[in-house]
Chains A and B, each alone.
Chain A
């Protein structure tokens, strides 16, 4: 990996008590790519995402994002610096509307504080109107123009995943981390999701996604990193990765179906 990526992980370590979840992980995510992170269950994929987004603190190694060191930063500051994420087990603000969920995503790009809130009109009203408009646009962008006022928890599962993506996009990330975006989706929803992922990339946003749906991964990814036992065992374009003997061994032949 000679060129510097948008996100560079070097020697990343994460332990939970005596259990090593991630060890000596090196990974490079190039700007503009859809980059997949795959591997068997328990190989450290979600831990890696949680360390990048600041939910867990790394025990060693570095996480460079656009040259800035992310490790040690708190999650909200990491988001403000341009890294957004979704969650494997959807974490919407369940009692709020879909629109409010996405409006909350505008938080790091807006300013109104306590005193600003008290003054109606002026800058506060402009920002409020802008926040609302952007949230509507993003809901339309993810294919949900008509559910703005539905309560988040009342939405079908696939729609909830889309709202979560819209909410993450509202923070204006340069890098979007998606933890199993296709989980629980039917074939049609997954096909739509592939289109959505490409449209997100076309907006100039780099994607790093964890996914078990190999069809989706092989279709959409520019590059793939394969993890096993908390460290990378392969990195490359889908065609190479799916032929890699280490990868095939890790999946016990599972990847051979795809190749």
Chain B
């Protein structure tokens, strides 16, 4: 069972690494794969928070933005390189998540926590718009450099995809390890019954804060990765709407499934592009499609696969 999911993961990584070969020269599609990979990282992080620990955040776009802006600032104004800026971007998002999560998770849960994170998300976007010295305001930051190793620059979407893929694999590995061991179990216990979790010696507040910080760190990592791919960022990308999209991706995929989180991100990155010929009515069809998927697959795609697997096992 264990080795089978390991083989499945290897197969998916092998297939994914063929993407730049198959779509060589098609920058439009390659860019979508980069974006999908980046979103998958955010959604896996949100999966730790919501799927494992049962706590809802509607501020993931803000942490995504903090990562993007930290990285952009450090590489365009302080002339650090990508590899130096990336860990600092992750750390910055994690620290902001700690500062937000520590007071709110001690006091709030459920809908109240969700409302607090909405408030934070909106404040963060306003800060990005108005703190011109750091963010250059609504004009955004341009000329964000591509990563390089030695004399090789990851300038093409095809090459950049491999960097993103490496980080998707790394974060998926971290998430899977957490899920399989004591920390993940503690988080699952909190999701299932917080009072019983406390009675099992689990410091629920501590693990909720840890989940919140990890979700923030994943989003920060993803933000930095996307900034160095599109090379231009502006505050409007880091809106409440974007936070909702991340949440929908997770719910669609199946909130405590790692594969589901990745699949949800990929599908909802490509779906709007597939629907683009519909022009103005696309958002209506997109919305209807999402609602239908959630009604017919309440456990997400991961739950659907689980049902199909059991049905085949019985037949």
Contacts and interface: CB of A to CB of B under 8 A. Distances in A.
B8 interface: no
Interface residues of B, number: 26
Given A55-B195, A92-B193, A104-B189, A74 B181 contact: no
A108 B183 contact: no
A221 interface: no
Interface in B211-253: 214
A171 B189 CA distance: 14
Interface string A54-97: 11000000000000000000111101100011010001111110
B192 interface: yes
Interface string B164-186: 00000000001001101111111
A16 interface: no
Contacts of A92: 192-193, 196
B200 interface: yes
For the side of the interface on A, what is the size category? Answer: 35 or more
A80 B185 contact: no
A56 B185 CA distance: 25
Contact of A79 (B199, B210, B214): B199
A131 interface: yes
A104 B183 CA distance: 10
A111 B189 CA distance: 16
A258 interface: no
A118 B177 contact: yes
B184 A117 contact: yes
B178 A117 contact: yes
Nearest to A108: B201
B177 A120 contact: yes
A107 B181 contact: no
Contacts of A91: 193, 195-196, 199
A77 B177 CA distance: 26
B182 A131 contact: yes
Nearest to B206: A76
B198 interface: yes
A112 B202 contact: no
Nearest to B177: A117
A53 interface: yes
Interface string A112-146: 11101110100010011001000000000000000
A114 B210 contact: yes
Contacts of B202: 76, 104, 107-108
Contact of B200 (A105, A113, A118): A105
B254 to A, nearest CB: 13
A74 to B, nearest CB: 7
Contacts of A103: 185
Given A53-B199, A120-B177, A112 B192 contact: no
B208 interface: no
A122 to B, nearest CB: 12
Nearest to A55: B195
Contact of B198 (A76, A96, A105, A112): A76
A114 B201 contact: no
A107 B198 contact: no
B185 A100 contact: yes
Contacts of B203: 74, 76-77
A81 B293 CA distance: 47
Given A94-B193, A108-B201, A118-B174, 20 more contacts: A54-B198, A55-B195, A75-B195, A80-B201, A87-B196, A91-B195, A91-B196, A92-B192, A95-B192, A107-B185, A107-B201, A114-B214, A116-B181, A117-B177, A117-B181, A117-B183, A117-B184, A120-B177, A167-B200, A168-B199
Closest 8 CB pairs of A and B: A108-B201, A93-B192, A79-B201, A91-B196, A75-B198, A117-B181, A112-B182, A104-B189
Interface of A: 53-55, 74-77, 79-80, 84-85, 87, 91-96, 100, 103-108, 110-114, 116-118, 120, 124, 127-128, 131, 167-168, 170-171
13 contacts: A55-B198, A74-B198, A75-B199, A76-B204, A93-B189, A95-B192, A104-B186, A104-B202, A107-B185, A110-B182, A114-B178, A114-B214, A124-B181
